[in-house]
Each structure stands twice: as C-alpha cells, then as structure tokens.
Structure 1
C-alpha cells in the first residue's frame, strides 16, 4: 500500500519503528489553507509510516473532529480529505525522534525560521503550533500561553494549541477539543464566507 496516496499502510513492526529515527515526512500543504497545523516533530511511529500523528493514541485526529473542524474523524492516511477541508500539517523540526525532548533549542529556533518561510510561501490564514514548550523555544517567547498570539508569521495569524500527544496529561481529549474549537471559531469569524 502507498500511504502517500491515502491508503491505510501496514502497521510497522518494532524494528521498523526503531529504524525511523531521523526520517522526515512530507508536509501536507496547499495554497489558501484555513489552518496549517504544526507538530513539534514526527515521532518514530509517524516516521515509520510516513504519516503525521500516526501513532495509535495520538489525539490530534479525534480532537480535530470533536472540535468541529471535520464532519467525521479522519485517519492519518487521509491527507487528501484533510487538504480538501483547507487544513494542512507540517512540523517545526522535520526529523523523527523517539521524544520531542530530544530536540535541541537550536533545531527549534531553526524550525521557527523555516516555519516563517513556509507561512510566507503558502499563506495560510492561521498557523497553529501544537505544543507550547516548542513554540516558546522556537520563537524565544517564554511567556506564551495557549491561544491566539500577537505575532504573525508572514501574513498568517498564529495560535498555540496544546500538544495532542497522549503523554500530555494536562489536557484530556474533551479539553483538547475545546481548545481546537476556539481556533476553529476564530478561523470561521475571520473568513465566514469560506467556512465548512
């Protein structure tokens, strides 16, 4: 099966997951996105499958649906359906690792610069960074809180969301979905004629 086409890929075995260290995943972007979601970096499971937020238990896809961004829960291999809703995904740091804590501050700062370039190129209405700690490091903004930011990346407004990883015990799935819904509502207010 070809995950790039949107087919469900086979589950990777533990050796394939371990071998994914350092791999990258292509961005899922197109012009005129409502929201470009930005993970910190792919986990090893995502690196092994070539799909964003692919690990079973990651709450990105359920939160996206429960917040009203999608009319059904999309699966990690349905990137064309995601893009059709004018939603995209990229990462601050491209390389896969076992834990985001393995990322250096230098990598995150460089990722912030690259993200700004992507926003200039693709011009999404909103850039939503998934992880407050990574955002603080990437943009040297230690006082950042979850929610809309004063900063813009190119023409794009910026929102910081909690990290959807199952390891983020501070946010239950309903609370995570509430934060995603706040962003959805803001995106709809900004462009009400183009909302889903």
Structure 2
C-alpha cells in the first residue's frame, strides 16, 4: 500500500488472533486501544475490523506467517526477515514499527537486550525503524504507552 505512515510488525499471530483471523485479537492486548488513545486512529477499531487501519495510513504484518503462538513456541528460523525487508522496500512506509523487542532483535540480528525502544539508526531504504514495547497482556510489566505516543507524534 503506497502512502503508509507506519507499518506495525509483530512476531506471529497468537492463538486467539489465529482463531479469530485478526491481528492483536486477544482481549488483554493493548494494541487497538492504544492506537485510538494515541491518535494513530481517530476511533477505536475492533480487531475483527483490522483492515480499516488502512484508512489511517497504517499497515499490519508479522515476521512469521506460517506459524502461530507465543514466541517461545515458534520453531527456530520461523521469522522471515528477508520477506519483511522486501515488503518495506516495495511499499515504502515512512516507519516500520516493531511491536516487540523480540521482533526487532530478530530483524536487526542482535540480542534482545541490545535493542532499545524508539527510533533506530538503521533504515530500510527511506523507511525508519521504530521499536515499541509489546502490547501483549503477557508483557504488561514492560508496558509503556508513552513510547507509542512518541511514535504517534512523530508520524502525525
């Protein structure tokens, strides 16, 4: 999709999302509420209506398209970083925002502990890379909505 402000990239669909065939579908996930609260969308979108994010210049993808579940349940080598890079070069969003340090670490080929939140110096063509704390309820202890707000402010 040309003209995207930001593409959010997760690691893989969780079980609830896979069953629902919708991104970030678990009721404990902060993703949809945060898009609305930060102004990335002007209204709260239901997970089942995820295609509507395009109306707001937003795209969604995952590093792993063939498996689902928690990150620790995914087989080794499940993340297709080259396919993601190719998509970003093709669609040229302003920002690729990883919705976890785990996904960013896999893409950037570094340890999770070496990945910081916010913008990174690496780019994919003209696409800037941004790392967010995971919106998953399982990562609630690391939650920080301000990092999401900073992204919203940067792309608006």
Query: Normalising to structure 2: TM-score of the pair?
Result: 0.91
How far 1:104 moved relative to its partner?
Answer: 4.0
Name the structure 2 match of 1:159: 130
Q: Give the conservation status (yes or no) of the 8 Å contact 2:14–2:68.
A: yes
SS in 1 for 2:93: coil
How far 1:45 moved relative to its partner?
Answer: 1.3
Match of 2:100 among 131, 137, 145: 131
Higher Cα Rg, which structure: 1
Name the structure 2 match of 1:179: 147
Change (3 A) 1:183 1:164: same
Aligned residues: CA RMSD = 1.5
Cα deviations by residue, 1:143-167 (Å, 9 ceiling, x for unpaired): 2101101111232110011111000
Give me the whole-angstrom Cα distance separating, in 1, the residues matched to 2:67 and 2:136: 14
Name the structure 2 match of 1:81: 52
If asked which structure has higher relative contact order (CA below 8 Å, sep 6+), I would say 2
Match of 1:99 among 70, 78, 103: 70
Moved more, 45-54 or 136-145: 136-145
Q: After superposition, where does 1:24-63 map in structure 2 within 5 Å?
A: 30-63=1-34
Give me the whole-angstrom Cα distance separating, in 1, the residues matched to 2:87 and 2:63: 11
Tell me, which stretches of 5 or more residues in structure 1 are unaligned?
1-29, 189-196
Q: Give the conservation status (yes or no) of the 8 Å contact 1:44–1:96.
A: no
Q: Give the conservation status (yes or no) of the 8 Å contact 1:105–1:138.
A: no
Cα deviations by residue, 1:36-67 (Å, 9 ceiling, x for unpaired): 00011001211112111111111110111111
Tell me, which stretches of 5 or more residues in structure 2 are unaligned?
none
Aligned length: 154
How far 1:68 moved relative to its partner?
Answer: 1.5
SS in 2 for 1:53: coil
